[in-house]
Amino acid sequence: MSFTRAELESFRGAEVPDLIGPACRLLFVGINPGLWTAATGAHFARPGNRFYPALLAAGIIGRPIDPTDGMSDADRSYLVERGVGITNLVPRATSKADELTAQELTAGADRLRVVVRDNAPRVVAIAGVTAYRTALGNRKAKKGKQPRGFEGAELWVVPNPSGLNAHETVATLAASYREAAIEAGIVSG
C-alpha cells in the first residue's frame, strides 16, 4: 500500500483506536499517531518504524508483524493474547510529534491515567523520553524504570521506535523493551 502526500494529509487529526485487551500486562504508549498510522488504522505502521522488529528481537512476540498495510485481526488478537497493549499520549494524528503542544501532551497524561486505571496493566512503557518529560512534568527523567509508579503500574520510559530517532537501533530498542517486558511477566529474565 502506498499513499500520496495529499492522501496522508487527509488523515491529519484522525484518531486510531487503542489496542488493549482485558489481560493487558504491558502497555506501550506512543506519543501520537503518525499520518500513515492513521491511514492504515494500525499503530506504529509507517514503513521503517522499528517497533515490531524490536518486539520480535526482544522475544515479546514470536513471529513477525508487518502493519504497513494495516493490521490483520489475527495480528491484533496475537498481541492481545500476549498481554501487549498499545495507546498514545495524544490521540490526534500529525505528520511529526513536534507538531504537538505542551498542553496537548499534559492533557495526554491525564487521558493516559484513565486508560491505565481502566485496564490495570502491570507495566506502562512510554516510548519517548522528551514527550514523557513534558507530559508528566519530570524534566530530569531518563530512560528506564522510573522511581514512581503510574496509577498502580510500574512505569518505564523506553526509546521511541521512529526512524527519526536515528541513534537507536532495533537491537537497542529490543533491549529496552525486553526489560519492561520481563517486569510485566511477558518474557522471562
Query: Residue 68 burial (CB < 10 Å; 0-12/13-18/19+)?
Result: middle
**pLDDT given for residue 167 in this prediction:** 84
**pLDDT given for residue 132 in this prediction:** 95
**pLDDT given for residue 108 in this prediction:** 96
Full-model pTM: 0.96
Per-residue pLDDT of the chain (189 residues; tens, 9 = 90+): 789 999 999 999 999 999 999 999 999 999 999 999 999 999 999 998 999 999 999 999 999 999 999 999 999 999 999 999 999 999 999 999 999 999 999 999 999 999 999 999 999 999 999 999 999 999 999 999 999 999 999 999 999 998 777 789 999 999 999 999 999 999 998
- Total number of residues shown for the chain: 189
For every residue of 103-124, DSSP letters joined together read: HHHHHHHHHHHHHHHHH--SEE
C-alpha cell at 109: 497524561
**CA-closest candidate to residue 125, choices 77, 75, 84:** 84
- CATH fit for domain 5-184, picks 3.30.70.360, 3.40.470.10, 3.40.190.10, 3.40.1050.10: 3.40.470.10
